[in-house]
Amino acid sequence: MSFISMFSVLGIAIGVAVIVTVMSVMNGFQSEVKNRMLGILPHAKIMGLGGSLENRDALQAALIANKDVKSFSAFVSSEALLLGSKEVSGIQFKGIDPKESGSAQKLEGLMVQGQLDSMSNGSFNIVLGKGLADDLNLSLGDPVTVMIPNSLISAMGVIPRLKRFTVSGFFEAGVYEFDRNLAFANLLDAQTLLQMPGKISGMEIDFFDPKQSREMVRKIAIGSGGGYTITDWTVQNPNFFRSLELTKTIIFMVLVLILAVASFNIVSTLVMLIKQKKASIAVMRSLGVDHMGIFKIFLAIGLLLGLAGSILGIGFGILVTEQLSGIVQSLESIFGVTLYQAEIYFLSELPTEIHWLEVLWIGLLAVLLSLVSSVIPSYRASRLNPADVLRSHK
């Protein structure tokens, strides 16, 4: 294989490897965000229209009767301010029953310090995200104050409603936004603070198949009498998933254009080869090989170059993808720069996920582009006049 041929194969291989690696990162990012979101968020929620859920018994009966429902649990929630000793942060304050399945069971699996059952009734203990605790410099046992927007009106004016809690645990979901935004307390303690005795904001529901959440929660709400606000995990962060899909598509198109440029190096390779082998082509034509035979020979050469580059690129791309986290860490330590920031990329670590069917299509696309690039040089080779070529080589 000549240097020019090796250069063409290498160009295709690099292009394929880059596409495989980037698409694997995008796939991993999307899948990891989805899994980690569902690791702490419910698949669906049914909430009351006026801030509290009415007709609770009918809804519970419908949830129990539905075989597609894996678990459900009551909750109350409100936006709030969390005041530490020196720092303040806005949070989503949620009250849950630590003994129920569903949200409490998910949260228990994410605990990194403390115990979920420390949120007993009347203890006014609170469990925070690890990122939120780090931002406020909080440790286990520290007192914090929760301030909610529902204010008290007295003779002295408007007084915000607040309550002192004790930090009893930290969880880590691995999603930057959740680890710095969510705070959990016992359901009855939260009802006391929010002045919702015996009332709940809604029901959080998990299904055996999360993909059916939107359809199933709608059926349950209608079947239990209606008059609810419903939401599911697919619409809680719609802009994020849409932007992720759009970004993935745009990046793929740009990388395909780069791969196309690399594939067209085959044109120069075949042109140089045809120029070197003019005499051999003329002899073959004189021996009876027709135009189509010459065309197929050079087309096959281009196809083999593309196939070699595609296979090499797929192998290299998979190797880089499998070792990507280590490569990023090595580059960060060598050059002293931060290449991956959790607060920007929404996750605390860089995920990858190889979709083998997608890898196959990328390889086939590289071969197809190589084949298209070979058409014109192969056609020109098939149209060489053997008499003129042999005459010029006398």
Query: pLDDT tens across 179-214, in order?
Result: 889 999 999 999 999 888 888 999 999 999 888 888
Indicate the pTM of the whole model: 0.69
- By the 8 A CB rule, do 53 and 201 touch? yes
Highest mean pLDDT: which range of 150-159, 276-285, 344-353, 356-365: 356-365
Whole-angstrom Cα distance, residue 345 to residue 29?
Answer: 9
Q: What pLDDT score was predicted for residue 17?
A: 93
- 86-114 in b/e burial notation, b at 16+ Cβ within 10 A? eeebebebbbbbbebebbbebbeebbebb
Q: Which amino acid makes up residue 382?
A: S
Q: What pLDDT score was predicted for residue 252?
A: 87
In a domain, 44, yes or no: no
For residues 93 and 20, membership in a common domain is answered with: no
The last residue of one of the domains, among 226, 251, 286, is: 226
For residues 306 and 185, membership in a common domain is answered with: no
The last residue of one of the domains, among 181, 197, 226, is: 226
In a domain, 231, yes or no: no
The strand pairing partners of 205, in sequence order, are 44, 72
- Per-residue pLDDT averaged across 290-296, rounded? 86
Mean confidence (pLDDT) of the chain: 85
Q: What pLDDT score was predicted for residue 278?
A: 81
Q: Is 161 helix (H, G, I), strand (E, B) or coil?
A: strand
| The token pair that represents 128 in the structure block | 């925070």
Q: Which among 373, 367, 27, 52 is positioned nearest to 228, based on CA atoms?
A: 52
| CA atoms within 13 Å, Cβ hemisphere of 332 | 10
Q: What pLDDT score was predicted for residue 257?
A: 87
The last residue of one of the domains, among 226, 255, 284, is: 226
In a domain, 233, yes or no: no
| Eight-class DSSP state of 211 | G
| The token pair that represents 208 in the structure block | 């055996």
Q: Give the pLDDT band (50/70/90) at residue 249.
A: confident
- By the 8 A CB rule, do 67 and 49 touch? no
Q: Give the pLDDT band (50/70/90) at residue 343.
A: low
In a domain, 70, yes or no: yes
For residues 94 and 128, membership in a common domain is answered with: yes
Q: Give the pLDDT band (50/70/90) at residue 344.
A: low
For residues 143 and 202, membership in a common domain is answered with: yes
The H or E element containing residue 244 is helix 238-263
Taking only the tens place, the pLDDT of each residue in 32-65 is 878 878 888 889 999 988 778 888 888 888 898 8
Say how many domains are in the chain: 2
Residue 85 has pLDDT above 70, yes or no: yes
For residues 179 and 252, membership in a common domain is answered with: no
Q: What pLDDT score was predicted for residue 117?
A: 87
For residues 157 and 298, membership in a common domain is answered with: no
Q: Give the residue numbers spanning the domain of 275.
A: 3-35+240-392
Whole-angstrom Cα distance, residue 127 to residue 116?
Answer: 8
Whole-angstrom Cα distance, residue 41 to residue 299?
Answer: 55
Q: What is the DSSP string of 203-247?
A: EEEEESSGGGHHHHHHHHHHHTT--EEEEEHHHHSHHHHHHHHHH
Residue 154 has pLDDT above 70, yes or no: no
- By the 8 A CB rule, do 116 and 104 touch? yes
In a domain, 232, yes or no: no
For residues 252 and 159, membership in a common domain is answered with: no
